[in-house]
Amino acid sequence: MINLEQIQEISLSTPSKIVLLVFDGLGGLPLPQTGKTELETARTPHLDELVGKGMCGLSEPVSIGITPGSAPGHLGLFGYDPLKFVIGRGVLEAVGINFPIKPGDIAARGNFCTVDKKGLITDRRAGRLATRKNARLCKLLAQIKLDGAQVFVQTVKEHRFAVVLRGEGLNEALSDTDPQRDGVAPLEVRAHIPQAARSAAIVNSFISQARHLLAEHHPANMITLRGFSHLPSIPSMPQIYKLKPAAIATYPMYRGLAKLVGMDILPTGSSAEQQFNTLTRYYKKYDFFFIHIKGADSAGEDGDFQRKVRVFEEVDAHLPQIIDLQPDVIAVTGDHSTPAVLKSHSWHPVPLLIYSKWCRPDGLSKFSEAACARGGLGHLPATAIMPLAMAHALKLAKYGA
């Protein structure tokens, strides 16, 4: 498979436009009663029309048999091999709340927890405290002064928060403090390598000050930290593809991921109609649009088969708004499967549809898992979607003489 440096050498800036429509958790499994998946159950005449003119296939987000998290799932769609570009839990947490993390920062995921008088954990989630209370405690922790680093502490939700350290020469090779079980004390941070020793001391100083500040705030009277990580070095989409890319996403994590790879984040309402209105409004200013539809995944996670069906039908009803703009390429796919019958992300490959006037049609007529399995694009890694979209938009020069 071609690598990003090789793509960069042949990518061309042209006026043609690409719309990448991502249904989070698109793929599904059949209901035993009907033998049809969510997508196969949905009435999607506009998607089916694109299938008739375009090509289908099945995308492997990470690797055959592997269930992707949201970050690897999306990195693959943007063309970054998720087995090579790894985003640590801490960075993802910071990115997810739109914290402006910088190269050199180290980030960790934090939990408020409850400890007893001996310092042993009795509740790793501090009774899932109210997000409002979390916010007050984060303000308290943000006042901590450290020798050699500035600290940012920001609320995520309930017991969860993000910590970011900023300073010279910080190193993220640090162990977790969360022992992952009750009845034991939170662990000290240890440096995995000698160069991280100073960073370990800084984090341990933060934790000991936090313990002091939180002493009177039972049940949130202690913290654990895990997933220390730094911003990975990722070449941006404008750099690799010479695109001017924009994201139309409503959930902070996807906006954060899109920003990480160099997209502009467009202001938008949260319904499909509002997201497509945003596309129309900004259509002239960009040549690549990532539209993220969250509803399919949420319905799948909730095990709500019919709600997932309705998400597809609702988006399909508004699809003409995209089609009428006549983008050179429309790619429709997902970051992973979320079958309602499994109530979770899954490893099943994901339907993919590429529409452009340069497609070699494959004679299919319905956007579905079954049709995609027989599609002209075959089975392909998710990282091939960007090269395919670029090719069909005539944005890739010939490779080699």
The footprint of a copy of itself (CB under 8 A) covers 1-3, 6, 10, 27, 29-30, 35, 37, 58, 62-72, 82-83, 86-89, 92, 227, 342, 345-348, 358, 360-363, 369-370, 373-374, 376, 378-380, 384, 386-391, 396-401
**Quick one: 170 or 352, whose CB is closer to a copy of itself?**
352
User: Taking the complex as a whole, how short is the minimal distance between the CB of residue 55 and a copy of itself, in angstroms?
Assistant: 9
3 state SS of 210: helix
**Quick one: 224 or 346, whose CB is closer to a copy of itself?**
346
User: Taking the complex as a whole, how short is the minimal distance between the CB of residue 256 and a copy of itself, in angstroms?
Assistant: 12
User: Taking the complex as a whole, how short is the minimal distance between the CB of residue 93 and a copy of itself, in angstroms?
Assistant: 8
DSSP H or E run through 19: strand 18-23
**Quick one: 219 or 351, whose CB is closer to a copy of itself?**
351
User: Taking the complex as a whole, how short is the minimal distance between the CB of residue 352 and a copy of itself, in angstroms?
Assistant: 12
DSSP 262-312: TPEEPP--SSHHHHHHHHHHHGGG-SEEEEEE-HHHHHHHTT-HHHHHHHH
* DSSP code, position 215: T
Residue 312's φ and ψ, nearest 5 degrees, are -60, -45
**Quick one: 88 or 295, whose CB is closer to a copy of itself?**
88
Tell which phi-psi region holds residue 97, choosing left (phi > 0), alpha (psi between -120 and 50) or beta.
alpha
- Token reading at 105: 């920062």
User: Taking the complex as a whole, how short is the minimal distance between the CB of residue 212 and a copy of itself, in angstroms?
Assistant: 31
Cα torsion 46, 48, 52, 53 to 10°: value is 40
User: Taking the complex as a whole, how short is the minimal distance between the CB of residue 153 and a copy of itself, in angstroms?
Assistant: 20
**Quick one: 105 or 362, whose CB is closer to a copy of itself?**
362
**Quick one: 87 or 149, whose CB is closer to a copy of itself?**
87
CA dist 259 → 14, 77, 165 (Å): 22, 14, 20
